[in-house]
Amino acid sequence: MALTAKGFLFDLDGTLADSLHVVERAWLAFARRIGADEDEVKHFIHGKPAVESIHHFLPDADENEIAAQLAWVTEQEIRESDQVTDLPGAQALLARLTSLDIPWAIVTSGSVAIARPRHSAANLPEPDAWVTADNITRGKPDPQPYLLGAEKLGLAPRDCFVFEDATAGLLSGLDAGCQVIAVHVPAGTPRTDELAMRVDSLTELEVEKAADGTVTLTRRPG
């Protein structure tokens, strides 16, 4: 099966960068700090902006308290940024896009303060555009992040591939009208029938570009 588009939009954590262990340690510490159930926190946070997660678990907190908790969680995550690495296939795929002059962006729920150190630790190339928690008013699963990503590349959402590993991000990409490729998502993930493709690793993908700028994405044989 071949898919065609003109640009690529990538989630960062869990899609390009292996940061799950860093994220979960920070948020489990947050759960203990506020007396919340650790499993509930761990399952809620993935793919969502930190401030939304904090509001969820501290619904009665005022803005000063939210800001203080956000600063604390951010510090926990930044502290271990050097433990983040690239995921298999990320370097090769991004190098291929660069060599073919195919526009791509990173669309992350993390803030610049968190995303930039992880991007650097994973030794990933610089994208053509960034969308972070600092650029948006509504985070994933709302479509706003991926709509903004497409806009920053100067493309219609339907002409963008979205690569995501978290349910919130998949829903964001689908509702934005993009072609969504799920990367190593768990069983039971909703709306998988609407996905353009589902892969276990970025190593499975091949990219070609036609003279008119149309990009073809296929699954590697075997």
The number of domains in the chain is 2
Mean pLDDT along residues 104-129: 96
CA gap 176, 146 in Å, rounded: 6
Owning domain of residue 62: 20-82
8 in the same domain as 25: no
111 in the same domain as 25: no
Is residue 160 within 8 A of residue 146, CB to CB? The reply is yes
Mean pLDDT along residues 87-92: 97
Q: What is the pLDDT of residue 1?
A: 75
Domain at 207, CATH number:
3.40.50.1000
H helices present in the chain, as ranges? 20-34, 38-45, 50-57, 63-79, 90-99, 112-121, 144-153, 167-176
Q: Last residue of some domain: 64, 82, 100?
A: 82
- Eight-class DSSP state of 156: -
CA gap 64, 71 in Å, rounded: 11
141 in the same domain as 31: no
Cβ-proximal residues to 139 (8 Å cutoff; 6+ apart), any chain: 48, 49, 52, 109, 133, 145, 168
126 in the same domain as 199: yes
Pairing of strands 85-86, 17-18: antiparallel
Mean pLDDT along residues 172-192: 95
75 in the same domain as 25: yes
Q: Last residue of some domain: 82, 105, 124?
A: 82
70 in the same domain as 38: yes
Q: What is the pLDDT of residue 48?
A: 84
Helix, coil or strand: residue 205: strand
Q: Is the pLDDT of residue 185 over 80?
A: yes
Q: Last residue of some domain: 58, 82, 106?
A: 82
165 in the same domain as 133: yes
User: pTM for this one?
Assistant: 0.88
Mean pLDDT along residues 161-179: 97
Q: Is the pLDDT of residue 211 over 80?
A: yes
Q: Is the pLDDT of residue 20 over 90?
A: no
Active site residue 62: no
Mean pLDDT along residues 8-32: 94
140 in the same domain as 32: no
Active site residue 200: no
